[in-house]
Amino acid sequence: MSKKILTIQDISCYGSCSTTVALSILPSFGIETVILPSAILSTHTSGFKNFTVLDLTLEMPKIVNHWISENIKFDAIYTGYIGDVRQFDLILKIKNELLKENGIFFCDPAMADYGKLYPALNNDIVNGMKKIAKESDFLIPNLTEASFLTDTPYKDNFTDDEIEKIANKLLDMGAKKIIISGVKNEKKLGARYYDKKESFEYFQGKREKSYHGTGDIFSSVVLAYILNGYDMKTTLKKSTEFVVKSIDNTIGDETHNYAPKFEEILTNWQK
């Protein structure tokens, strides 16, 4: 029986990120994907000026209450970018009332990169993310987001031991399994997995460019493999390789420098 998931994040109408990425990737793995938009943006927030934002905080509870009345349930709930602090309590209500028993609460705390919060976000959003992060079965931050969640001063050159300490803080908060993306050195880029029993990593060669939306692609592919029963080492390897191939497919195309061209990779990807 196919899985049914709910993803809660924004719709960026232009820019290949958040909900549009999830709706491309997850169904291609045979996963029914339901959406609860947190906001509608004209574009994503990196590299564009004067983007528009329509906040959907007041509409979201109406949708959720209708689903509750229809006894709709989900095998996984996948959260991403949240731009209004009022939405975090609603997300916990959704987890408690719409997630199936033994379902997966999967949190991508999409709020920061390169040591800084995204435009228009503040510490209230960080504190809200902490509330849902500690309830997560899987927590998928990049290194900047992991730093914010653990009140760790960010720097470009964390040591392996320092990253492990950050991961242990996240586990101590309550998150059951952690994947930290954006781990890098001069030659390699990849991700590390941590739980209370084990840790491991997977790296690829570092690329010359980075793109907004790679974290959304990574999280969606990770969740797709998890829901299809893959072990975590295979999941980390395949998801990292998918992102790198998407970046490679985009480098050199100056008409498409706002996001990775992952669609061509997805079409021929071994699922």
Residues (pLDDT < 70) of the chain are: 1, 186
At 157 the pLDDT is: 86
At 193 the pLDDT is: 97
CA distance from start to end of the chain: 17
Q: Using CA atoms, how far apart are residues 116 and 107, in angstroms rounded to an integer?
A: 19
Closest CA to 239 of 250, 251, 225, 228: 225
At 54 the pLDDT is: 94
CB 243 within 8 A of CB 260: yes
Average pLDDT, the chain: 93
**Residue spans of alpha helices (H) in 38-78:** 60-69
- Sign of the Cα torsion 10, 14, 15, 17 reads positive
At 211 the pLDDT is: 74
Tokens encoding 158: 């964390």
At 120 the pLDDT is: 81
Amino acid at the residue 164: E
Place of tokens 């000026």: 49
At 260 the pLDDT is: 85
At 254 the pLDDT is: 83
Amino acid at the residue 81: Y
At 186 the pLDDT is: 67
